[in-house]
Amino acid sequence: MPIHDMLYRCPRCGHDPLEGHKTRARCSSCGTRFEQGRGSLITVRPPEGLAEQVSATSLLADLEKMGGPGAGKERGKGSNEDSSGSSGEHLYREARVSLGIAEGYEVIRWRGEVLGFAERISWKGEGLIRLEGELLTFTPDENGAAVRSRRAEPEGRVEGFSCILADIRGVQISSGAVQVTLEGDRLYQFEFVDDSAKRWEDLLCLALRRLYSESGRCVIEFKPRVVTEPISMKSGR
């Protein structure tokens, strides 16, 4: 995953978004540069002073403190909401995506031995994904535009859909795309054209945490399935 997709907001000053390409990113506000280092380390180069090696986990924690995925109506505008969703601010974001739907499974073999199974994704086309409050929707392009040229032609007619957050059974990131599982094990895969998949994974997880907290529950797992428990159990540990 490119650094500017993983660090979609500057973990040093909170500016959103970072600019970059593949293994390098730069904050246009504070001037800090980020470069892929060895393993999970990232080299952070401030405009003044010495560079330092920082773990990706630490930078992601700093990013969350700086505002996390953001929830403003204007792209690149964050919110004052923290990762707990405690501010009560209305969540809203939209982005262009390529939509894929899982239609069966592929068998993964190595030297004749079955190692496991992977979803067979049928790519349908491009459109707009929108999270607004407790509603997630996908609206296909009106002209039925094909997915990006590096994908095959869409398989079948692309249709829109909508769901409430309570219908979501799982959220996870996979190869730079976000997979959302609904009731009945219906799996939708969203590959983002002009936004960060990591941002959207964080945003959907934030929305689900807020949803369940209203009924006195906290989410302890998002993948492969959303698992919750009473907040009193977590606070009593």
- The confidence score (pLDDT) of residue 36 equals 94
- The confidence score (pLDDT) of residue 81 equals 45
**Which pLDDT band, with edges at 50, 70 and 90, does 135 fall under?**
very high
**Which pLDDT band, with edges at 50, 70 and 90, does 143 fall under?**
low
State yes or no: pLDDT of 146 exceeds 90.
no
* Alpha-carbon gap, residue 213 to 236, rounded angstroms: 16
End-to-end Cα distance, the chain: 35
- The confidence score (pLDDT) of residue 236 equals 61
**Which pLDDT band, with edges at 50, 70 and 90, does 77 fall under?**
very low
Which DSSP symbol is given to 141?
-
State yes or no: pLDDT of 118 exceeds 60.
yes
Residue 20 belongs to what H/E stretch?
A: strand 19-21
- The confidence score (pLDDT) of residue 46 equals 96
- The domains of the chain are located at 3-65, 92-220
Whole-structure pTM value: 0.82
Asked if residue 224 has a cis previous peptide bond (ω within 30° of 0), the answer is yes
| Residue 221 exposed, middle or buried by CB count within 10 Å (0-12, 13-18, 19+) | exposed
- The confidence score (pLDDT) of residue 162 equals 93
State yes or no: pLDDT of 145 exceeds 90.
no
State yes or no: pLDDT of 227 exceeds 60.
yes
What CATH number labels 92-220?
2.30.29.30
Percentage of the chain exceeding pLDDT 90:
60
- The confidence score (pLDDT) of residue 90 equals 76
Strand ranges (E), 80-199: 92-110, 113-132, 135-140, 161-164, 168-174, 177-182, 186-192
**Which pLDDT band, with edges at 50, 70 and 90, does 144 fall under?**
low
pLDDT digits (tens, 9 = 90+) for 174-217: 878 999 999 888 999 999 998 999 999 999 999 999 999 999 99
Which DSSP symbol is given to 132?
E
Evaluated on CA atoms 1, 201, 30, 96, the torsion sign reads positive
State yes or no: pLDDT of 65 exceeds 80.
yes
- The confidence score (pLDDT) of residue 75 equals 38
